[in-house]
Amino acid sequence: MAEIEFWYEFASTYSYPAAMRVEKVAAPKGVAVRWRPFLLGPIFGAQGWTDSPFNLYPAKGRNMWRDLERICEAEDLPLKQPPFRFPQNGLKAARIALAGVTDGWTPAFTRAVYTANFAEQKDIADDGVLATILGKLGVDAEHAVSAANSSDNKQALKAQTEEAIARGIYGTPSFLVADELFWGNDRLEQAVTWAGK
Amino acid sequence: MAEIEFWYEFASTYSYPAAMRVEKVAAPKGVAVRWRPFLLGPIFGAQGWTDSPFNLYPAKGRNMWRDLERICEAEDLPLKQPPFRFPQNGLKAARIALAGVTDGWTPAFTRAVYTANFAEQKDIADDGVLATILGKLGVDAEHAVSAANSSDNKQALKAQTEEAIARGIYGTPSFLVADELFWGNDRLEQAVTWAGK
């Protein structure tokens, strides 16, 4: 079956609409989605950025939020900026998302975390917020968090980020179809078409 | 008549497909295009960038060229990277483009300069290249260059860039519909739809 890899970071604004619609765009074309959470922080850090470019460059940041409003309106997605901090810290959520791949709840967990971050103004680094999300999905939170914090899983997340860098990823969301890289929520349709070729 | 402003910089890669298709997208919707050449260099410089972000961040640059290839292929546009220098220096071309607004040859001149830059591997800072382009459009090159280099026109280009900054522009191509800002070739359709509302 044709496949796209969906690479995302929980702090990333444009990954929110991408996560909410990736399956809806891919499924009708017979394309499977492989969900690949990772951390963008180390990549940005290596470029000398100590903060999101949307904070470092205020004009760019202002227009990103306006653009995201227009996108979410068109997609009928709620949008509220995290009031306390942007970008939020997605480390714990990324570890949990990666730990869920084997059991198959990563996509639903991912969508719920993005909703918490960009629609519900919740702190996605808060253990209680993450446990509640897992509970609602019928996942044993204690077990999932324990698996997330195992040294194997922590190492796997680091390897995930290293793989992202090695394969040319520099921002999120990114889509990979074998070696073909597409960057941005607005390239999703193109990536799916490419996968179906 | 509804109008979009098309803000562009001659060194900008994504402004190339935007320039080639902006009229084709806008005209069927009854939307007029106001062509607004300006210089992005001062804006980038104020952000601390001394070079194009596509050079400063190599992974981003590599994927930009690949993405542009895919876009140009879909639009049936030729694409060849300028072999000697990227970004090229678009100062002279921008001055000439601005000087042509009154006489109406700015759109055709702009498309020809982008073609020279990104398809024909010509030096768009070369006086002979620019004179040849003007000649092919039936424009008196000597007169146009003289108007371009008048202190009034030089000042007008500076004012154009200052207006871009004041209105929130931080990259190219950008489209403005009154105060609504859209950034990127991939936002052209959205901007035209907005103008037609």
Residue A173 has a CB neighbour count (10 Å cut-off) of 27
Mean pLDDT of B193-197: 92
Measured between beta carbons, the chain B residues lying within 8 angstroms of A181 are 63, 66
Q: Do A57 and B63 touch (CB under 8 A)?
A: no
Choose the mutation target among B55, B62, B67, B169 for the interface with A, i.e. most A CBs under 10 Å: B67
State the complex-level ipTM.
0.93
pLDDT digits (tens, 9 = 90+) for B149-167: 999 999 999 999 999 999 9
- B63 vs A181: CB contact, 8 Å cut-off? yes
Q: Where does chain B show beta strands of DSSP type E?
A: 2-8, 31-37, 174-177, 180-183
- Predicted pLDDT of residue B181: 98
The set of residues, in sequence order, having a beta carbon less than 8 Å from that of A61 and lying 6+ positions away, is: A52, A53, A54, A55
For the segment B118-123, the average pLDDT, to the nearest whole number, is 96
- The answer to whether B169 contacts A59, with C-beta atoms less than 8 Å apart, is yes
Set of chain A residues whose Cβ sits within 8 Å of the Cβ of B182: 67
CA A87-A18-B68 angle, to 5 degrees, is 100
Q: For the segment A87-118, what is each residue's pLDDT rounded down to a tens digit? A: 999 999 999 999 999 999 999 999 999 999 99
H helix or E strand, kind and range, residue A176: strand A174-177
Say whether residue A132 is in contact with chain B using an 8 A CB cutoff: no
* Nearest-by-CA chain A residue for B190: A70
Nearest to B19 by CA among B117, B91, B107, B119: B107
Q: Strand, coil or helix: what is A8?
A: strand
pLDDT tens series, chain A, 197 aa: 899 999 999 999 999 999 999 999 999 999 999 999 999 998 888 888 888 888 888 999 999 999 999 999 999 999 999 887 889 999 999 999 999 999 999 999 999 999 999 999 999 999 999 999 999 999 999 999 999 999 999 999 999 999 999 999 999 999 999 999 999 999 999 999 999 98
* pTM recorded for the entire structure: 0.95
Q: Which of B59, B183, B190 sits opposite A168 (nearest CB)?
A: B59
Given an 8 Å threshold on Cβ–Cβ distance, is B183 in contact with A66?
no
> What's phi and psi for B37, nearest 5 deg?
-70, 145
Name every chain A residue with its beta carbon within 8 A of the beta carbon of B60.
170-171
Contacts of A67 in chain B (CB under 8 A): 182-183, 187
Percent of chain A with pLDDT over 90: 87
Contact B187 A60 (CB under 8 A): no
* Residue B45, pLDDT score: 85
pLDDT band (50, 70, 90) for residue B13: very high
Q: Of the candidates B60, B165, B170, which has its C-beta nearest A60's C-beta?
A: B170
Tokens of A125: 């680094």
